[in-house]
């Protein structure tokens, strides 16, 4: 409320409105009106802190005026003046006007002034309460946001510590196993090369040795990738996101064709980001190959990109079997798998870490019409720069 409250005095009798103005001018800036209509026109032009109005006036009555005032702004003080003959007819109407006080005419100036002071104090208190409640809501919202960010940060720290501990152990194990796995794989290939001179059962064993040796080598690489994703650095240079996505998709073309999967693209983000091309390609290929494996009878793999709400978004959608609900929330944790044949449960954990290294996030959901949709969100502009 300003230092001098703005008061509106309404009475159809000029003598009455002049008396109100003289009595109230010590309390604030008084504006007179000789009808409800004139008062309402003033209220639409400027704000008032309190309206004191006579009840019986030609046209709009005092109760009707104050009811409009209450509907327009509940925190404007409202005082109704009534004659003794009006009391019984006015009491029921007072609730419509939601008045703070009503006074009998003629009203002694000191009673009028005391009542106006009291109502102004109530109005000021109500407005202060609204202001404080608004501040409290804003601060609660800020606190909830901060708590959410803190929980997310703590969860990321826990995941990072977990991956770091796993990675340190795995790096040693994989290093020790790589040599014997390579020897087994090499021996299996020599046997497979001579399969035409071997009995059928031994030829089948040789083929199985090669297949399992390759699988163990891939698992070793994925395990080391988790180690790198948790402790390694990212070398990023500015590049066109759509070009990087298109280059990665070249590696999917042959596999998609062999599996009877139609590969459809619509790359239109136009974004230039700081990108580690090799690692982002790895993330895209992981998602692409997963999608193809989810469609053993063929289907559609659709890869699109666009810019929306400050993010460059790469979407990978398939028409496969979808992700079981029981693992959806844990999908990006290491070693969680949906029962994929020969799956290690590390591919999506690697995807998540790579995207987060670029300051982004991964979202997953059910695709329209069935299947799964992954969205990689990368911040464009200042947020992206801050992640470098």
Q: What is the CATH number of the domain that holds 42?
A: 3.40.50.2300
Total domains in the fold of the chain: 3
Specify whether 173 is located in the same domain as 301. Answer: no
- Which of 44, 76, 107 is the endpoint of a domain? 107
Read off the pLDDT band of 231 (50, 70, 90).
very low
pLDDT tens-digit readout, 30-75: 999 999 999 999 999 999 999 999 988 999 988 889 989 998 998 8
Specify whether 182 is located in the same domain as 302. Answer: no
- In a 13 Å sphere around the CA of 82, the CA atoms on its Cβ side amount to 18
- Which of 192, 209, 226 is the endpoint of a domain? 209
Specify whether 277 is located in the same domain as 371. Answer: yes
How far apart, in whole angstroms, are the C-alpha atoms of residue 116 and residue 335? 73
Domain that holds residue 37: 6-107
Q: Alpha carbon 144 to chain centroid distance?
A: 13
- Report residue 296: phi and psi, to 5°: -65, -25
> Per the domain annotation, does 162 fall within a domain?
yes
How far apart, in whole angstroms, are the C-alpha atoms of residue 15 and residue 66? 21
Specify whether 164 is located in the same domain as 258. Answer: no
pLDDT tens-digit readout, 18-42: 999 999 988 999 999 999 999 999 9
How far apart, in whole angstroms, are the C-alpha atoms of residue 229 and residue 12? 81
Specify whether 245 is located in the same domain as 371. Answer: yes
281 pLDDT above the threshold of 70: yes
Q: DSSP letters of 259-284?
A: TTEEEEEEE----EEEE-HHHHHHHH
**Pairing, β 299-308 against β 311-318:** antiparallel
**Pairing, β 299-308 against β 261-267:** parallel
For residue 295, is the peptide bond before it cis, meaning its omega torsion is within 30 degrees of 0? no
Specify whether 242 is located in the same domain as 205. Answer: no
Specify whether 246 is located in the same domain as 314. Answer: yes
Token pair 């990212």 is found at 234
- In a 13 Å sphere around the CA of 204, the CA atoms on its Cβ side amount to 3
How far apart, in whole angstroms, are the C-alpha atoms of residue 351 and residue 231? 15
Specify whether 336 is located in the same domain as 261. Answer: yes
- Which of 107, 132, 158 is the endpoint of a domain? 107
């Amino acid at each position: 409320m300003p230092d001098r409250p703005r008061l509106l005095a309404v009475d159809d009798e000029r003598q009455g409105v002049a008396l109100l103005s003289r009595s109230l001018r010590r309390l604030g800036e008084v504006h007179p009106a000789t009808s409800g209509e004139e008062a309402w026109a003033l209220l639409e032009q400027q704000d008032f802190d309190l309206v004191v109005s006579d009840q019986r006036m030609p046209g709009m009555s005092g109760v009707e005026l104050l009811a409009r005032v209450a509907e327009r702004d509940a925190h404007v003080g409202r005082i109704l003046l009534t004659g003794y003959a009006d009391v019984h007819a006015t009491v029921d109407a007072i609730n419509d006007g939601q008045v703070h006080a009503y006074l009998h005419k003629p009203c002694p100036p000191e009673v009028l002034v005391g009542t106006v002071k009291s109502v102004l104090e109530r109005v000021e208190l109500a407005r202060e309460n609204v202001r404080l409640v608004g501040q409290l809501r804003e601060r609660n919202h800020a606190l909830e946001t901060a708590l959410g960010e803190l929980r997310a940060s703590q969860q990321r720290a826990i995941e990072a510590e977990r991956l770091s501990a796993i990675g340190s152990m795995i790096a040693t194990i994989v290093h020790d196993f790589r040599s014997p796995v390579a020897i087994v794989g090499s021996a299996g290939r020599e046997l497979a090369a001579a399969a035409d001179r071997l009995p059928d059962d031994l030829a089948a064993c040789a083929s199985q040795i090669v297949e399992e040796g390759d699988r163990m080598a891939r698992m070793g690489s994925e395990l080391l990738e988790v180690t790198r994703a948790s402790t390694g650095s990212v070398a990023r240079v500015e590049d066109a996101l759509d070009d990087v996505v298109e280059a990665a998709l070249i590696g999917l073309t042959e596999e998609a064709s062999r599996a009877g999967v139609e590969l459809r693209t619509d790359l239109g983000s136009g974004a230039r980001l700081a990108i580690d091309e090799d690692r982002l390609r790895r993330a895209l290929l992981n998602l692409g190959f997963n999608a193809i494996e989810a469609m053993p009878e063929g289907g559609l793999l659709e890869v699109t990109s666009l810019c929306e709400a400050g993010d460059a978004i790469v979407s990978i959608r398939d028409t496969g079997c979808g992700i079981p609900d029981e693992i959806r929330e844990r999908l990006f944790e290491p070693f969680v798998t949906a029962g994929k044949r020969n799956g290690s449960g590390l591919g999506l954990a690697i995807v998540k870490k790579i995207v987060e290294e670029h300051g982004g996030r991964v979202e997953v959901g059910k695709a329209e019409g069935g299947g799964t949709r992954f969205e990689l969100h990368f911040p464009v502009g200042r947020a992206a720069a801050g992640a470098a």
